[in-house]
Chains A and B, each alone.
Chain A
């Protein structure tokens, strides 16, 4: 009988702890109904967009391995020249489960860009190392490489 009580106590303890964890997770990652185009507009207004160009679907796939139609909204601006490192990506996810895929794609892209500039593009490497921000807020994701990355993040959070 004792054994049974211990088992029941432990399993319900695990269930309650899981519930607390989920409640905490929900509190930290609310879904936003903001229009992704408006969020992108708010973020891009903080940055100098002349150093970047808009990516089409093919380019998004090439640079990030992502398919734009899989998401509710995806805006990518990438450097106009090979020597540029500034980048801006705003994604509105259809399903929160997609966050992991996009996050990993961004990390991979950042890693690959760092490798490209390591050793010869000092400024670009510095920009990628110290002025790149990946921010996931619920169903929105921002990735920005820019000297004004911090301002972009503030605008991103306000726009949600």
Chain B
């Protein structure tokens, strides 16, 4: 089920809130798990069994780890847990890719029969992995009950596309997440903001991007190729940050606080800053469970290079089983290494506006690998961005159609609109408050119209 499908905000969510609200305190968490499982089962019921079994497996693994004394046996239990969680992820996401890649290495057409991937498997697998690691390290206690573990893993706002919340952050809230009108109101506003980002901005940007990308990438003019690349870069931001806003807002409605996932990445002045502000929860996961355990940046230059290379290969691979994602990971890893060891002092001397511009430019080039179906197609697209005819009729037509939405989104991805909105809501002036409330009413109207108009458009990050 998608948050931006009319059914969710107008049927599923009100019913879920009603059922949850009617439950006595003791039954609120069981109801929350039931709602989450229904949400997950909506499109493919069989996978809810897999989710339940994963909850069981990880709950009892963590309990066993906690009860054992530090030593070999404890480590074995952790390893068996991690291996099985990774095996589940690898089977659904990477097995087909691995076999076909091996086949092409030997010039054969090898492929395997695989069922469709469970939605959100990358996200909930990372949640349970962090849980096992933290229990093993003694940083947290294991879940007090199976129900607590089920609330953590299955909580529906974050289940399908994050944010990836650690057990440490989530656990204190499980027993104490009172719903209050103020928080619910803020959550509702946040949900609506996310919905507007997806329905009004990302989907509109998608129209120009898909119109251009449907053409042969090698035959595009520079103008058309740049419009497509910029449209995709902004679309991906508004799509995924919109989803994160909706997830955080829904969490607030049910009394949970979840971490921010996007902190205006396109306002960054370096690639390091960009990755500190884009998909924050995934970056934090790789930092805490891969980079730092490998030694981070404290084990000398060569090991830092190795550690960053490992992290970025895995980050690329996490996004999908395709060479384009792996290359995209290598591209960003290389940029970060260059920035860290070679270009830092040079970049610091550049004026701020130029650093921001270069960061956006490098990120946009990276997204070309992200959206291209193959490496050849990505290189052809980049060729069109930097060579060939500057513009043609099609490019000029696309510019005429999309300049306004690109401008709105270009400003919208910076911090200023949110600062203005916050100040408006903090205002004690009743007229200002009434106007800002009316604004959200209008936003809801346009979002509903947008959802009615659009055929189904999935969230881009659902595929990961």
Q: Point out residues on A near B: beta carbons under 8 Å.
A: 3-4, 7-8, 10-11, 14-15, 17-18, 21-22, 25-26, 28-31, 33, 57-58, 61-65, 67-70, 94-101, 103-105, 107-109, 112, 138
Min Cβ gap B54→A in Å is: 7
Q: Point out residues on B near A: beta carbons under 8 Å.
A: 2, 5, 43-44, 46, 49-50, 53-54, 56-57, 60-61, 63-64, 67-68, 77, 81, 84, 88, 91-93, 96, 109, 111-117, 119, 207, 210-211, 213-214, 321, 373, 454-458, 462-463
Which of B2, B63, B109, B117 contacts A96, CB < 8 Å?
Answer: B117
Which of A8, A62, A98 contacts B455, CB < 8 Å?
Answer: A62
Which of B214, B455, B463 contacts A68, CB < 8 Å?
Answer: B214
25 pairs across A/B with beta carbons < 8 Å?
A7-B60, A11-B60, A11-B61, A14-B53, A14-B60, A18-B88, A21-B49, A25-B46, A29-B114, A29-B115, A29-B116, A30-B113, A31-B114, A58-B214, A61-B211, A95-B96, A95-B321, A95-B463, A96-B116, A98-B116, A101-B462, A101-B463, A104-B458, A108-B455, A138-B115
Min Cβ gap B365→A in Å is: 20
Residues of chain A contacted by B50 (CB below 8 angstroms): 18, 21-22
**With known contacts A30-B113, A109-B456, A7–B67 Cβ distance under 8 A:** yes
Contact yes or no, A108 B5, CB < 8 A = yes
Which of A29, A69, A97 contacts B213, CB < 8 Å?
Answer: A69
Contact yes or no, B373 A70, CB < 8 A = yes
Min Cβ gap A87→B in Å is: 13
Which of B115, B454, B463 contacts A26, CB < 8 Å?
Answer: B115
- Give CA–CA (A99, B115) in the complex, Å: 9
Residues of chain B contacted by A30 (CB below 8 angstroms): 113
- Give CA–CA (A57, B43) in the complex, Å: 26
Contact yes or no, A108 B456, CB < 8 A = yes
- Give CA–CA (A69, B211) in the complex, Å: 12
Beyond A21-B49, A64-B456, 11 additional pairs, beta carbon < 8 A: A11-B56, A14-B60, A15-B53, A29-B113, A29-B116, A69-B213, A96-B96, A97-B463, A98-B116, A100-B43, A101-B458
Contact yes or no, A97 B117, CB < 8 A = yes
Contact yes or no, A105 B113, CB < 8 A = no
Please name the residue on chain A nearest to B117 by beta carbon.
Answer: A97
- Give CA–CA (A111, B210) in the complex, Å: 24
Contact yes or no, A7 B456, CB < 8 A = no
- Give CA–CA (A28, B46) in the complex, Å: 12
Please name the residue on chain B nearest to A18 by beta carbon.
Answer: B53
**With known contacts A26-B115, A33-B111, A67-B210, A104–B60 Cβ distance under 8 A:** no
- Give CA–CA (A112, B453) in the complex, Å: 10
Please name the residue on chain A nearest to B92 by beta carbon.
Answer: A97
**With known contacts A57-B214, A61-B210, A97-B463, A14–B96 Cβ distance under 8 A:** no
Please name the residue on chain A nearest to B88 by beta carbon.
Answer: A18
Residues of chain B contacted by A112 (CB below 8 angstroms): 455
Contact yes or no, B455 A63, CB < 8 A = yes
**With known contacts A15-B57, A112-B455, A100–B115 Cβ distance under 8 A:** no
Min Cβ gap B370→A in Å is: 13
Contact yes or no, A10 B56, CB < 8 A = yes
- Give CA–CA (A101, B64) in the complex, Å: 38
Residues of chain A contacted by B455 (CB below 8 angstroms): 62-65, 105, 108-109, 112
Min Cβ gap B255→A in Å is: 29
Residues of chain A contacted by B81 (CB below 8 angstroms): 11
Contact yes or no, B115 A18, CB < 8 A = no
- Give CA–CA (A62, B210) in the complex, Å: 10
Contact yes or no, B115 A28, CB < 8 A = yes
Min Cβ gap B309→A in Å is: 26
Which of B84, B115, B119 contacts A15, CB < 8 Å?
Answer: B84
Please name the residue on chain A nearest to B46 by beta carbon.
Answer: A25
Residues of chain A contacted by B112 (CB below 8 angstroms): 31
Residues of chain A contacted by B321 (CB below 8 angstroms): 95
Contact yes or no, B463 A98, CB < 8 A = yes
Min Cβ gap A42→B in Å is: 21
The 3 closest A-B pairs by CB, nearest first: A108-B456, A97-B117, A11-B60
Please name the residue on chain B nearest to A105 by beta carbon.
Answer: B456
- Give CA–CA (A29, B88) in the complex, Å: 17
Please name the residue on chain A nearest to B56 by beta carbon.
Answer: A14
Which of B68, B115, B456 contacts A25, CB < 8 Å?
Answer: B115
Please name the residue on chain A nearest to B61 by beta carbon.
Answer: A11
Contact yes or no, A10 B88, CB < 8 A = no
Min Cβ gap A31→B in Å is: 5
Interface centre among B54, B115, B214, B373 (most CB of A within 10 A): B115
Which of A62, A69, A109 contacts B373, CB < 8 Å?
Answer: A69
Please name the residue on chain A nearest to B44 by beta carbon.
Answer: A100
Residues of chain A contacted by B63 (CB below 8 angstroms): 3, 7
Which of B49, B67, B119, B214 contacts A67, CB < 8 Å?
Answer: B214
Residues of chain B contacted by A17 (CB below 8 angstroms): 53
